[in-house]
Chain A
Amino acid sequence: MVKNNPLRFDVEDIPDEDEVFRNVHVNLLRNWAFPDKIPPNVFMSDEDGMSCDWAKYSTPQMTQERARCPEKNGVIQMNVGATRSIKFGESALDVKHDPIEHPQPNRAHSLVIGIHPPNKAKIRSKLQEIAQWILSPLI
């Protein structure tokens, strides 16, 4: 840690055997008929990557509480190694630790890299296969 900034977290390597969590807003589940399965539209990414929380520094409940409206979110879990095994062309997805300080400090924050552009149907379809519900939406 940087001594003169107690909130600056070190970036660490995430081992393959670990898990990451991601919030899923209930409105993404509209028109989805398979409550035990994960729909493909939960895997949305911006230019930096798809946000998630590393299980080393978060629990599913803590991830849910970080949502703007926790009561409207469920939480999915993905194994990091399984995520990294998803290949496209010569590349593969990666999971990188990305601790942040804003809008609130989150040491667990991480990114799944490689989904961008967000319409990569194969990647999202493969992510569906490895993801699982860990907390159902409260409503």
Chain B
Amino acid sequence: MVETGVFPNGNIKINLLPAINNLSVTLSKYKEGILTLGENWDDDGGKPYQITTWDRAESFVGELLIRLWLDNISVPIPSILPGPGGSIDVDWETDAFKLLVNVPEDPTELVNLFGEGVKRQEIEITIEYDELIAVLLPWLKTIH
């Protein structure tokens, strides 16, 4: 989780430097977890994951989280998982919302995502990778 503290006026601040350090360490661990999956990693012909797919997943997660944290919105680091067909699943499961973003292996393919807030605010969309931040940032802000 993101470290927070409380200002004397009651506003919550996010302690950004430890959060970014923790993000860097966590992403490194996740990267190793996915990119060390070799041929037949699932005993059913599964193929290794491309570093370019990982880079796209990592890049959008990093930018999204830092921009949220700079706005004092405490969103945790998601799970980043080996997805179907060489894609990578980015998954948040929190008390406030759940959000699944699937980053395809083919960079020309669209990104499919689904999210649901605790008050049933729903987002389901298939978009260009470059639109991810512009779409998710306002949605996550409305959730919080």
- A-side residues, CB < 8 A to B, are 25, 27-28, 30-34, 37, 39-41, 44-45, 67-69, 72, 118-122, 124-125
Instruction: Specify which chain B residues have a CB less than 8 angstroms from the CB of A119 in the assembled complex.
Output: 83-85, 87, 102, 104, 112
Instruction: Specify which chain A residues have a CB less than 8 angstroms from the CB of B116 in the assembled complex.
Output: 125
Q: Contact: B100 with A40, CB < 8 Å?
A: yes
Complex: how many Å from CA A34 to CA B94? Answer: 11
Q: Which of B2-10, B39-47, B132-140 contacts A (4 or more CB under 8 A)?
A: B39-47
Instruction: Specify which chain B residues have a CB less than 8 angstroms from the CB of A30 in the assembled complex.
Output: 33-34, 37, 81-82
Tell yes or no: B93 within 8 A of A by CB: yes
Instruction: Specify which chain B residues have a CB less than 8 angstroms from the CB of A69 in the assembled complex.
Output: 43
A-B contact count (CB 8 A): 75
In the complex, residue of chain A having the shortest beta-carbon distance to the beta carbon of B42? A25
Tell yes or no: B113 within 8 A of A by CB: yes
Q: Contact: A124 with B100, CB < 8 Å?
A: yes
Shortest Cβ distance from residue A111 to the other chain B in the assembled complex, whole angstroms: 16
Q: Contact: B124 with A41, CB < 8 Å?
A: no
In the complex, residue of chain B having the shortest beta-carbon distance to the beta carbon of A67? B43
Q: Contact: A121 with B112, CB < 8 Å?
A: yes
Shortest Cβ distance from residue A39 to the other chain B in the assembled complex, whole angstroms: 6
Q: Contact: B37 with A44, CB < 8 Å?
A: no
In the complex, residue of chain B having the shortest beta-carbon distance to the beta carbon of A33? B79
Instruction: Specify which chain A residues have a CB less than 8 angstroms from the CB of B30 in the assembled complex.
Output: 31
Q: Contact: A125 with B98, CB < 8 Å?
A: yes
Shortest Cβ distance from residue B17 to the other chain A in the assembled complex, whole angstroms: 23
Mark interface residues in B113-132 (1 if CB within 8 Å of A CB, else 0): 11010000000100000000
Tell yes or no: B75 within 8 A of A by CB: no
Complex: how many Å from CA A13 to CA B87? Answer: 34
In the complex, residue of chain B having the shortest beta-carbon distance to the beta carbon of A69? B43
Shortest Cβ distance from residue A71 to the other chain B in the assembled complex, whole angstroms: 10
Complex: how many Å from CA A25 to CA B79? Answer: 17
Shortest Cβ distance from residue A75 to the other chain B in the assembled complex, whole angstroms: 15
In the complex, residue of chain A having the shortest beta-carbon distance to the beta carbon of B116? A125
Mark interface residues in B80-103 (1 if CB within 8 Å of A CB, else 0): 111111010101010000101110
Instruction: Specify which chain A residues have a CB less than 8 angstroms from the CB of B113 in the assembled complex.
Output: 121
Complex: how many Å from CA A25 to CA B87? Answer: 17
